Amino acid sequence: MVASKSAQDDAAWYTCRMMISDIEDYFLKGCGRCERFGSSNCSTKVWEKGLAKLRDICLSADLKETVKWGHPCYMHADRNIVIIGAFRENFRLSFFNAALMQDSEGVLEKQGPNTRHADMIRFTSNDGPAKQENVILAYLDEAKAYADEGKKPSKTEHELDLPEELVEALDADPELSEAFHGLTPGRQRSYVINLNGAKKSETRVNRIEKFREKIIDGKGANER
């Protein structure tokens, strides 16, 4: 699988490096997963004002601010609601459990052609979040209501029962999600079997991080 130049540029956002653990570091330096961390070329610098506004909107919605996968993640009722990310060409607010969202305003987009559900609001200007603040807040309220109800997307008859850790990793990492859903059913199943073989959640999380490059390369868990 050969990635386009745009995809290769975006992939720098996810290059496995030392991810940040302090929320302020993200807005000051970046996520810590590529060589542009802490430099003026970091995508977080390009979209500094827009990211700050997104942060303000999420906090005004009474969401709990955390750092997950090196990015600002916002929670409610012990459930991930949205995660913020920045690329060179745009920045995004991505919803977890996006299959539940009604998208009444038609603003949600898919991360890529293999992504199953439209889950992100994409911005190409720093004033984008301010212009859509009311819509974003309404969507956040909708997502919070699902969390309060404990409601999750229903699975289709032939859909694999993915471990929760993998679901969250895919929701948080557009490149990984696109690659995983582009795998053959057998290759997808190989990862599910491997991850389900781990008793501890921490072990599953570590395995997903190690498997990331193989998934992006289009390989199964047992392939070299």
- Residue partners of 142: CB distance under 8 A and separation at least 6: 101, 102
* Minimum mean pLDDT range among 103-112, 172-181, 186-195: 172-181
Distance of CA 56 to the CA centre of its chain: 19
**What are the helix (H) ranges across the chain?**
5-11, 23-28, 43-46, 48-60, 128-131, 133-149, 164-172, 174-181, 185-196, 201-216
Closest to 178 measured CA to CA, from 117, 120, 112: 112
Mean pLDDT confidence for 19-26: 91
Residue with tokens 């993200």: 26
Q: Is pLDDT of 16 > 80?
A: no
Q: What is the pLDDT of residue 4?
A: 45
> 115 vs 91, which has greater pLDDT?
91
Averaged pLDDT, 164-183: 90
6-10, 92-96, 175-179, range with greatest mean pLDDT: 92-96
pLDDT per residue as tens digits for the range 56-102 = 999 999 999 999 988 999 999 999 999 999 999 999 999 999 999 99
pTM of the entire structure?
Answer: 0.78
Contact between 114 and 178 under an 8 Å Cβ cutoff? The reply is yes
Average pLDDT, the chain: 89
What is the per-residue pLDDT for 33? Answer: 76
Whether 9 has a pLDDT exceeding 60, the answer reads: no
The percentage of residues in the chain with a pLDDT greater than 90, rounded to a whole number, is 72
What's the distance, Cα to Cα, between the start and end of the chain in Å?
15
Picking from 3-7, 31-35, 73-77, 166-170, which range would have the lowest pLDDT averaged per residue? 3-7
